[in-house]
Amino acid sequence: MKKYRKLKSNALLQKIVQKDYLKSRVLHRLGPSAWVTSGFPVEILRAMGISPFYPENYGALCAARKASARLCQEAEDRGYSRELCAYGRNHLGSLYNPSRAPLKGLPRPDLLLACNNICGTVLKWYQTLSRELQVPLFFLDTPYRSGGDNGEGAVSYVEKQLHTLVEFLEGRTGRKLNEDRLLETLELSAEATRLWAKVRDMGKHRPSPINAPDLFVNMAPIVVLRGTKQAADYYRVLLAELEGRVAAGEGALLRENFRLLWDNIAIWHRVLSFYSMFTEYGACFVVDTYTGAWSGTWDAGEDPYRSMARVYTRIMLNQGIESRAAAMLKDAKDYGVDGFVMHANRSCKPYSQLQLPLRRVLTENTGLPGLLVEADMCDPRNYAAESIKTRVEAFLENLA
Amino acid sequence: MKPDKEISYDDILAKKGRRYLGYFCSYVPEEIFHAAGYTPVRLLPRPRPLGEADAHLPVNTCSLARSCLELAFSKRGAGFSAFAFAHTCDTMQCLADIFRTRLPDKPVFNLIGPVNREASGAREFLLQQLEALIGQVNPAAERKITSSRLLKSIKAYNKLRLQLDQLHKKRRELPAVEFYRLVQAAMLLPKEEALELIKGSRAHREEAAPHALLAGGEEKPGIYLHGGMLYDLSLVSLIEDLGGRVAGDNLCSGTRYFNLPLVKPLPGEGPLEALADRYLKRLPCAAKHPTLDDTEGHLVRDVAESKAAGVVFLHDVFCEPHSWDLVILQNSLQSTGIPHITIEMDHMGVTEQIRGRLQAFMERLKGDL
Ligand code: SF4
Ligand code: SF4
């Protein structure tokens, strides 16, 4: 029996993402391109006509297409430890053996741009890429904001580096950054971010018109099309569909029995089978900590560089445990959840190493039940299907 | 304390009358804490029974983080008055947060300095961070950090680094276990005590044994150690038992602890600028953004300078930064024809398998001589 309502907007989403991909492939032959980390201030690139490609997003795609295990293996065969982040291994594998990689891998870049506001792993990964490809790397250092009072100092430091970044890009590509274009791009980016925040807010309705797996699929534009008109346009369409659902009293699930909070990156290689276990029980993930990571908006009243510096150092994974705990507690309350599920993601240490203490904080403060699932966002070999199924079912039965 | 005896945290913390600061990384500016009246004690990975740390960290966490969290939670760990971190890898980033929130009764300091020493604004940011750190240490410390106190501490640490550097230059004359015990003493004991030990060591008494020679008079094959932390020295003893000698290293608990330059204020500048400059100029660790030359260039050069015949990588499988570098370094040694072997360590001592592999490697090196 059908238990899930499919979003109509998704057909449009697929078209947009595919079109953008084809366009980038062509543009990349005509102009400069770069491989970038998901938290890189891409607005500057967009304003300069440099095409960005996202290896992390490519990792999600490979996992969904069941290619990531063999690509990770390609990297492991060349000496990379199986304990390294699978996005990195998957990407290196696609480089070593493009014939086995979806879309034959990402087009070779002219530049590598990494920012450590999500993790330190990207620094090492991009250093490796820089050596393998002999392509210059710009590393943007966004200090971790925790404990110490490095707020404004860190912002000034990042702001300075953003100016150097522009010099680096201009020097390498021969293109000049047009400040007006930058402002336009930042505004488009902010518009998409505001709309995306509204999309995510829709989960507060009962029943929720959106479930986290929908958010995982629909986050693509906020990541890979940030700073484009298409992103904002798409989110308007999606938002309208969700508002329609709310007006009609329709939820993402045909019957919403429980409302849950999801923590960590999606299990991309099991997006259907994993989350359908929850759908079976009418458990909807009304909120998650992952898809809100791209939530900072540029402040038009401030110098654009300073404002970007502020937004990009405030990425969720770059904040200490206290901010993460506070955000989760707030979400649990605002969205009225009945429990939470944490994906202990073997690949991602910065996301997962704080989960045990966070779980304790959540349980102590809310009394809500929580489940910790050990898996991996991109390496299906780190997924013990049977034991996960047993644990998930036990958790859901307890909720009932 | 004698250099032939393992230094235990029990012994260190049993001595009353001091305020012990457990600190994690060679990027922690010990001088600042020393000037504030703390006795800095480095936290090192030890063989570890399962315990409370497992309730706080996932299984794929490096043994340094796990065993030190265990220590901090233990009865023995109660002897520390405070803890200090320096931001390096993702694991240290998380661990500092766990310490701060799970040990709320103790100050937990964290220096979040630049990852990219060549970034524009890196020095200025670091200076601000050092100042902020002093601002946090002062209210917790037993005495206020003044410029003259800080300069005094800097002097003491410079002296120690110089002594360690001299010892390092003479390591050919010294059993490796003794060398590393002395480096451990410098990291673990009150500095004055450590200095005395080093000064009294065999290398300084000029009565060194012809330690580097085999019975037939030829030079023992030199081994260069590369990796993160080494606390349990049984592996070092094993290298010597197998007829080798440790010629050099690039370890967190070896030369990366004391490598030069010294902390020297430039004319017209103060102690903080000097501390910042050393941070930015020292040999970076794997978690920082190095230049290309810092990584493979430095290794190949250092191996040649130390006249080592081969490299042993000591590797914790759960350590991301070193895992990434390992492939680059292995490949570059491959292309320069330097023999190497990778030993996976979980700080649980030397297993039969490690012994067998190391033995085969040593035989190969001896065959090459
Ligand atoms: S999954 Fe985690 S470790 Fe891997 S690139 Fe993303 S943030 Fe970094
Ligand atoms: S650098 Fe490696 S060994 Fe050191 S704390 Fe980080 S993960 Fe652990």
CATH topology of domain A10-178: Rossmann fold (3.40.50)
Residues 6+ apart with CB under 8 A from B365: B221, B223, B244, B309, B310, B339
Residue B161 CA to residue B165 CA, distance in Å, equals 6
Q: Which candidate in A162, A317, A354, A373 is best for mutational testing of the B interface (most B CBs within 10 A)?
A: A354
Task: Count CB-CB contacts under 10 A for residue B333.
Answer: 21
pLDDT, one tens digit per residue, over A339-378 is 999 999 999 999 999 999 999 999 999 999 999 999 999 9
What part of A 281-310 touches B (C-beta under 8 Å)? none
Amino acid identity at A211: N
Task: Name the residue in chain A with its Cα closest to that of B320.
Answer: A84
- For chain A, give every domain's residue range: 10-178, 181-399
pLDDT tier for residue A3 given thresholds of 50, 70 and 90: confident
Could you tell me the domains of chain B?
17-145 (3.40.50.11890), 214-368 (3.40.50.11900)
Return mean pLDDT, chain A: 94
Residues in chain B with CB shorter than 8 Å from the CB of A163 are: 120
Radius of gyration of chain B (CA): 20
pLDDT at B174: 86
pLDDT at B46: 80
Averaged over A218-222, what is the pLDDT?
A: 94
% of chain A residues with pLDDT over 90 = 89
Residues 6+ apart with CB under 8 A from A146: A319, A320, A321, A322, A323, B93, B96, B97, B100, B110, B112
Residues in chain A with CB shorter than 8 Å from the CB of B133 are: 148
Residues in chain A with CB shorter than 8 Å from the CB of B128 are: 150, 153
**Does A353 reach chain B within 8 Å, measured CB to CB?**
yes
**Does B201 reach chain A within 8 Å, measured CB to CB?**
no
Measure CB to CB from residue B120 to each of A164, A344, A354 and give the nearest one. Answer: A164
Q: Is B226 helix (H, G, I), strand (E, B) or coil?
A: strand
pLDDT at A82: 97
pLDDT at B294: 78
Using the predicted structure, report yes or no on whether residue A148 has a pLDDT greater than 60.
no
Q: Is B200 helix (H, G, I), strand (E, B) or coil?
A: coil
Helix or strand holding residue A137 (H, E):
strand A137-140
From the CA of B62, how far away is ligand 2's center (Å)?
6
Cis before B339 (ω within 30): no
Q: Do B91 and A161 touch (CB under 8 A)?
A: no
ipTM of the complex: 0.95
Length of chain A: 400
Using the predicted structure, report yes or no on whether residue A387 has a pLDDT greater than 90.
yes
Residues of chain B with pLDDT below 50 are 1
pLDDT, one tens digit per residue, over B156-207 is 999 999 999 999 998 888 889 999 999 999 999 999 999 999 988 876 666 5
CATH topology of domain A181-399: Rossmann fold (3.40.50)
Residue A282 CA to residue A276 CA, distance in Å, equals 9
Give percent helix, percent strand, percent coil of chain A, each to the nearest 5: 60, 10, 30
DSSP single-letter state for residue B101:
H
Alpha helices in A7-67, H assignment, sequence order = 9-30, 43-48, 55-64
Any atom of ligand 2 within 6 Å of the Cβ of B86: no
Q: Which atom of ligand 1 is nearest to the CA of A317?
A: 7
pLDDT, one tens digit per residue, over A238-295 is 999 999 999 999 999 999 999 999 999 999 999 989 999 999 999 999 999 999 888 7
**Does B139 reach chain A within 8 Å, measured CB to CB?**
no
Averaged over A300-312, what is the pLDDT?
A: 93
From the CA of A276, how far away is ligand 2's center (Å)?
37
Residues in chain A with CB shorter than 8 Å from the CB of B320 are: 83-85, 120-121, 124, 349
Is residue B178 within 8 Å of B233, Cβ to Cβ? no
Q: What is the pTM of this model?
A: 0.95
Averaged over A99-122, what is the pLDDT?
A: 95
**Which residues is A145 bridged to in the sheet?**
A319
Task: Provide the pairing of β-strand B80-86 with B222-227.
Answer: unpaired
Is residue A351 within 8 Å of A295, Cβ to Cβ? no
pLDDT, one tens digit per residue, over B253-263 is 999 999 888 99
Closest CA to A369 of A350, A351, A389, A396: A396
pLDDT at B366: 85
pLDDT at A147: 59
Any atom of ligand 2 within 6 Å of the Cβ of B228: yes
% of chain A residues with pLDDT over 70 = 99
Using the predicted structure, report yes or no on whether residue A127 has a pLDDT greater than 70.
yes
Residue A165 CA to residue A114 CA, distance in Å, equals 11
Closest CA to B73 of A374, A343, A357, A144: A357
